[in-house]
Amino acid sequence: MPQPSDRLKKDFSRHFKERVIEAILFLAAFLSVFTTTAIVYILVKESWIFFQHVPLTDFLFDTQWTPLFDDAHYGIMVLLSGTITSSMVALLVAIPLGTIIAIYLSEFAPFSIREIAKPFLELLGGIPTIIYGYFALLFVTPLLQKVFPELPGFNLLSAGMVMGVMIIPYVASLSEDAMRAVPMALREGSYATGATRLQTALRVVVPAATSGIAAAYILGISRAVGETMILAVAAGMQPNLTFNPAEPGATITSFIVQVALGDLPHGSIGYQTIFAAGLTLMLLTLVFNLIGFYMRKKYREVY
């Protein structure tokens, strides 16, 4: 005869079902760890084979990048120079404009402008990068050629500039979030001493939001370094060891696209070069992400 208290005992089937569901949900969450592991495993495995054919010193110090020629050279420096040059151009556009927009939206803009500008920036950030590539090649380059007639049809300059516009929304919206998180009391204190809006913004709010703004910049850098299609379309895909943005050039990412578009047999040395290039890119973005993480930790103001 069942006691009334039996109903309150731990029900095995109910308990078991709960545990199974929790395990399934855990596996879904753990997929992210698996993905990271798989990325590292695939990149390292293929690069390992690559580095058995190509000494690391050649990879780092050779000044030519001709992996698909008979006389093959594997100097990653050549691709890195394209990546660095185009990213610099992009950051020269995105950081000043993004910061100004962020300060304006956070400290100056009336409510109505902010309500329109934020979704608009979000829309701008959602445009596919291939569209930006088309725009850089067929709109910005001809425009620049009117000013600099000797500019080649493919160049890092217009690709970098358009890439900068693409990054503005990321920099602006993250910096703005950081500035808005600064407590009102700090601003009120500043206003009470007679400071103007600009003085408050530049001397109180921006310093207080340094960590968040730095994180926004770092994210912008890592977007620029990893951006692919704008460069593949508008910068040409010729490896070129240069830091002059007015020249065409290949980046790590556009090289990967170029190889993937061709028909390289699985397991060939050409196939493995894209993984070695990918590993370099991954390490590069990892460094920036770590710097961002460290900065956020170090300069975090606790309110």
Partner 1 sequence: MNQQELQALRTMIVAHKRWDMMFGLLGILALMIALMTFTALFADMAINGLGRISWEFLTSFPSRRAANAGILSAWVGSVLVMLVTAVAAVPLGVAAGVYLEEYARKNWVTDIIEINVSNLAGVPSIIYGLLALGLFVYTFGLGQSILTAGLTLALLILPVVIVATREAIRSIPQIIREGAYACGATTWQVVSDHIVPYSSAGILTGVIIGMARAIGETAPIITVGALTFIAFLPPAPFTGEPPAGVFDWLFAPFTVMPIQMFNWTSRPEAAFLANAAAAGFILVLMTLAMNGLAIWLRYRLRKNINW
Q: Which two tokens stand for residue 268?
A: 């060939």
Is residue 138 near partner 1 by the rule CB under 8 A? yes
Sole binder of partner 1 in the list 51, 134, 191, 299 (CB under 8 A): 134
Question: Which residue lies nearer to partner 1 by CB, 74 or 132?
Answer: 132
Residues 166-225, interacting with partner 1 (CB under 8 A): 168-169, 196-199, 201, 219, 222, 225
Q: How many CB atoms lie within 10 A of CB 40?
A: 13
Question: Which residue lies nearer to partner 1 by CB, 57 or 268?
Answer: 268
The three-state DSSP-derived secondary structure of 208-229 is HCHHHHHHHHHHHHHHHHHCCH
Long-range Cβ contacts of 263-268 (<8 Å, 24+ apart): none
- Could you tell me if residue 183 is left (phi over 0), alpha (psi between -120 and 50 degrees) or otherwise beta? beta
Percentages (nearest 5) of helix, strand, coil residues in the chain: 75, 0, 25
Sole binder of partner 1 in the list 91, 167, 233, 295 (CB under 8 A): 233
Task: Name the minimum Å distance from CB 209 to partner 1.
Answer: 16
Bridge partner residues of 65 (DSSP): 74
What's the distance, CA 232 to chain centroid?
Answer: 16
Question: Which residue lies nearer to partner 1 by CB, 182 or 218?
Answer: 218
> Which residues in the chain belong to E strands, given as ranges?
none
Task: Name the minimum Å distance from CB 192 to partner 1.
Answer: 16
Q: Which stretch binds partner 1 (CB under 8 A): 26-34, 57-65, 84-92, 178-186?
A: 26-34
What whole-number distance in Å separates Cα of residue 59 and Cα of residue 279? 12
228, 261 contact by CB (below 8 A):
no
Task: Name the minimum Å distance from CB 71 to partner 1.
Answer: 26
Site for partner 1 (CB under 8 A): how many residues?
Answer: 80
103-134 burial code (b ≥16 CB/10 A, e <16): bbbbbebeeeeeeebbeebeeeeeeebeebbb
Residues 48-67, interacting with partner 1 (CB under 8 A): none
Residues 111-130, interacting with partner 1 (CB under 8 A): 117, 119-124, 126-130
Sole binder of partner 1 in the list 68, 84, 97, 144 (CB under 8 A): 97
Sole binder of partner 1 in the list 9, 14, 146, 297 (CB under 8 A): 14
Question: Which residue lies nearer to partner 1 by CB, 63 or 152?
Answer: 152
> Which residues in 150-214 belong to E strands, given as ranges?
none
Task: Name the minimum Å distance from CB 243 to partner 1.
Answer: 22
Task: Please provide residue 65's backbone torsions phi and psi, each rounded to the nearest 5 degrees.
Answer: -130, 95
Residues 249-288, interacting with partner 1 (CB under 8 A): 253, 256-257, 260-261, 266, 274-275, 278, 281-282, 285
What whole-number distance in Å separates Cα of residue 196 and Cα of residue 199? 5
Is residue 135 near partner 1 by the rule CB under 8 A? yes
Question: Which residue lies nearer to partner 1 by CB, 85 or 87?
Answer: 87
Sole binder of partner 1 in the list 24, 147, 192, 302 (CB under 8 A): 24
Question: Which residue lies nearer to partner 1 by CB, 60 or 261?
Answer: 261
